[in-house]
Amino acid sequence: MLELIIVGAGPAGITAGVYAARKRMDFLVISGDIGGQTAWSGDVENYTGYQFVTGPELAAKFEEHMRRYRIDVREGELVRELSRSQDAVTLTTDKARYEARTAIIASGKRSRELGVPGEKEFKNKGLTYCATCDGPLFSGKDVAVIGGGNSALDATLQLMNIARRVHVINAASALTGDAVMREKAEAAGNVAILNGSSVTQVYGEKMVQGLEISRGGKKERLAVQGIFVEIGLIPNSEFAQGVARNEYGEIKVNSRNETSMEGVFAAGDVTDVPEKQIIIAAGEGSKAALSAFRYLAQHKF
């Protein structure tokens, strides 16, 4: 019987782990990967202490900090179910079953898919969800970025220095990301912004050759060799069926990071805390760990 199990190893989960280790708690971390969305981010200019750092560099710093405490991390293991009975929280993964007095859900979010014909067929064959990971593969080529928020603009700013031409396919009537990012994208000579456009199909042979879009009631084809899908994220909360969630699937938490299930806390992008930022997720992770520690101190087992 552990004192704590942390689900996820992004900014929230890693920070929770560091705080739990410093409190000498008996715990482990379960996560499909290390770094979460941070590892997929481009340039980070708003994380205190770093005037400029790339997402992968910051994720590496997080992991280095966590490894220093020799935390037990079950990487590559996915949680399938979370439940509570009497004084224990039970987590069932694709590999094992664990019990603990408390749990912190910091499982983050995943990329939302387009859901159009050709998407699954051309995934990793020219269609990707990570400009940081795959952008360099499209040097000198024509590409399309799907979306109009900060994620899409981040991808656009990376790709405009790599690709020959970047087409931004935005369903809304205008870009919705941060003003500075919008201005940089709009000022670039090799970026074409197509507002009021939606993707209806991805086509190609062995690799992506283009996509079909609907704009102004008409369909047209756009020849590109790369497609970057940046239309938002979905909370990884399906395994927590007994925990209250909002209409977006985000786990509801209070100011102490408590969920509707006793002894279960949540932190980071998987929660309904407004503004999905790396620094906010890290702060919420520390709060969740301190709340779990306080819960254990106040209960007899």
pLDDT value of residue 299: 93
pLDDT value of residue 41: 80
Active site residues: 130, 133-134
pLDDT value of residue 116: 96
> Which residues, 6 or more positions from 56, have their beta carbon under 8 angstroms from its beta carbon?
35, 39, 41, 132
> Which residues, 6 or more positions from 39, have their beta carbon under 8 angstroms from its beta carbon?
33, 55, 56, 59, 132
Structure tokens given for 50: 């770093």
pLDDT value of residue 134: 87
- Spatial separation of the C-alpha atoms in residues 124 and 279, rounded to whole Å: 30
pLDDT value of residue 114: 95
pLDDT value of residue 40: 81
pTM beyond 0.85: the answer is: no
User: What are the residues facing 168 on neighbouring strands?
Assistant: 145, 193
User: What are the residues facing 208 on neighbouring strands?
Assistant: 204
pLDDT value of residue 232: 87
Amino acid at 222: L
- Spatial separation of the C-alpha atoms in residues 128 and 44, rounded to whole Å: 21
Burial class, 286, CB count within 10 angstroms (exposed 0-12 / middle 13-18 / buried 19+): middle
Q: Which domains does the chain have, with CATH numbers?
A: 2-111+233-298 (3.50.50.60), 127-229 (3.50.50.60)
Residues in the chain with pLDDT < 70? none
Burial class, 49, CB count within 10 angstroms (exposed 0-12 / middle 13-18 / buried 19+): exposed
